[in-house]
Amino acid sequence: MNIEPPDLPTPVPAAADEGWQALPARGGSVAALGGAIGAALPFAGIGFVLAHVSGWVSPWLAAPLLLVVGELIGAWFAWRRHRRLRWRLDDTGFAVRRGNWWQSETHVPISRVQHLDLKRGPIERSLGLSTLVVHTAGSRQATVSVSALDAQDGERLRDRLARQLDHDDALG
């Protein structure tokens, strides 16, 4: 008696990630700098207060040490967050995916786009980066922003979204 194994399901290709674009690696340094600055002062302040209250160690020693620890932790978290951000533009609209464990995905249909901004601060300009801000209709999450985009990608996204928006307006 010849028994054949049941048909196994065909593995699904990684289509779930199809079209998602990563941010350029050089933007990670900007993210890390912002994270370091944002975390350093709270760490130093808490360290100063705890050292002063406990009397275990000099506050003037604890504060600088915790400042450095805060910078390192803030930079690491911001760099990892930057690495996990993805964006996608297709015929239906613009989408941003953030996170690894707790993912959030924001999709902005073309019909909801009100206007677009492309921002470039001095640090972003020096690294060839930009920030795309998509302003949407509605009050909840009225903007979707993607920082540290490659400058050419930012311009291409802005122009393509604007063309799609103009095309949809002409049809409607």
Domain boundaries, the chain: 23-83, 86-171
75 closest CA partner among 31, 41, 132: 31
pLDDT of residue 132: 95
pLDDT at 20: 93
Whole-number pLDDT of residue 11: 42
pTM assigned to the model:
0.75
The fold adopted by the segment(s) 86-171 is PH-domain like (2.30.29)
Q: What is the pLDDT of residue 15?
A: 47
As to burial, measured by CB atoms within 10 angstroms (0-12 exposed, 13-18 middle, 19+ buried), residue 108 is buried
Residue-wise pLDDT tens digits, 80-114 = 999 999 999 988 889 999 988 888 999 998 888 88
How far, CA to CA in Å, does 75 sit from each of 6, 32, 155? 51, 4, 28
Contacts of 8 (CB under 8 A, 6+ apart): none
pLDDT at residue 85 in the model: 95
Residues of the chain short of pLDDT 50, as ranges, are 5-15
